[in-house]
Amino acid sequence: MGKQYEIPMGAQHISLLEPLHFKFTTENEKIIDATANVFYVHRGIEQACCSKFKFRQVSFVVGRVCGLCSISHSTAYSQVAEKLVKIEIPRRAKYLRMLVIELDRIHSHLLCLSHVAENSGFEALFMKTMQYREFSMELLEAVCGNRIQYDFSIVGGVARDLKPQVGQLILERLKKFKSQLDELVDIYQNNWTLSLKNKRAGAINREDAIRLNVAGPFARAAGLAVDVRNETEDLLPWKEVGFEIVTDSAGDVHARNMVRLHELFVSIRIIENIINGLPESALVTETKAFPDGEAAVRLEAPRGELFYYAKGNKTQILERLKIKAPTFSNVAAMVEAFKGNEYGSIPAIVASYDPCLSCTSR
């Protein structure tokens, strides 16, 4: 038995993208225990949504919860508010929401992949992935008018229409991106240097994933087929636009990379199907009703299942809004997956979790 050392990491650290604190107990460079503290960026958004802002304005406030999955938050809130005021949104609005969610997924997954490469010490791949990611940001700007903070979903529908020339632009760019994505898959799958840091690092098995209630690509990499897009059909018709679940069995960093990359192929297919078969209808369902009763909504954000609960009391201001972000479900498994790994592989493992703590602590 060697001597045990406690090594803290965070809340500010060169390899962490967000304020997150870990305390590792190590023995001969091997991690035997870890604890996590994640609530560093509490901003009081839930309270602001229930006191200061009217229910129609809240969809813009919750869009600021997260910079990466802004559209997932505002769509999930819009859906829960539509349940409270009891309206059905037009078909075209549903398709446009799915389009922006999938474009957002492309840029979020590529960001995560690039950070895994960077934290594994592969700076050139980080640059390459970021270079290929740029097209998705420009497409989002063309569709929503802004690179981040899309403000696209509003209560009752969507804020902007998709112009035919923008649709053509998206198809052209996606065609170009497909070959680039093949190149990225080749590098992430076969590169020997990257595999030294990624294969068998941060592994979690299927039983632990079920026990610890993991969500998103983290769970799918461990062989657990959980995806809200696969389970619900009532709010957004995912199956209609060609959704297929992607899973892997290894559960390590490499498997998570592969799940993310193969999900991009699914996203590309969904976007192409949406643009080729976009139905004609109005964009917004108008209503003068006030929110009443309770409702809950689940939506698949890039990082996993996003959960919204809202309660109205027939006034402009909501009585309660609860946001459960995907990273919150993953914290327990994050700590578990560290055990048994070398201390040096921590940065790559943390990046592969894709933690979004601004979402989690709101």
DSSP class of residue 289 equals P
56 is a contact residue toward another protein (CB under 8 A): yes
Nearest CA to 16 out of 32, 40, 33 is that of 40
Instruction: Please count the residues of the chain.
Output: 362
Site for another protein in 273-312 (CB under 8 A): none
Q: By C-beta, is 97 or 324 nearer to another protein? A: 97
Determine the interface stretch with another protein among 29-37, 144-152, 221-229, 253-261 (rule: CB under 8 A): 144-152
- Ordered strands of the 21-27 beta sheet: 4-9, 21-27, 30-37
315 is a contact residue toward another protein (CB under 8 A): no
How many angstroms separate the CA atoms of 89 and 82, rounded?
Answer: 8
Determine the interface stretch with another protein among 187-195, 236-244, 317-325, 353-361 (rule: CB under 8 A): 187-195
190 is a contact residue toward another protein (CB under 8 A): yes
How many angstroms separate the CA atoms of 299 and 255, rounded?
Answer: 23
HEC string of 174-227? Answer: HHHHHHHHHHHHHHHHHCHHHHHHHCCCCCCCHHHHHHCCCCCHHHHHCCCCCC
Nearest approach, Cβ of residue 242 and another protein (Å): 27
**Residue choice 7, 32, 124, 196 for contact with another protein (CB under 8 A):** 124
Determine the interface stretch with another protein among 111-119, 133-141, 224-232, 334-342 (rule: CB under 8 A): 133-141
Determine the interface stretch with another protein among 2-10, 93-101, 157-165, 265-273 (rule: CB under 8 A): 157-165
**How many C-beta neighbours within 10 Å does residue 194 have?**
22
What is the Cα Rg of the chain in Å? 21
Q: By C-beta, is 109 or 133 nearer to another protein? A: 133
Q: Residues in the site for another protein, rule: CB under 8 A?
A: 53, 56-57, 60-61, 124, 131, 134, 138, 141-142, 144-146, 149, 151, 154, 159-160, 163, 166, 186-187, 190-193
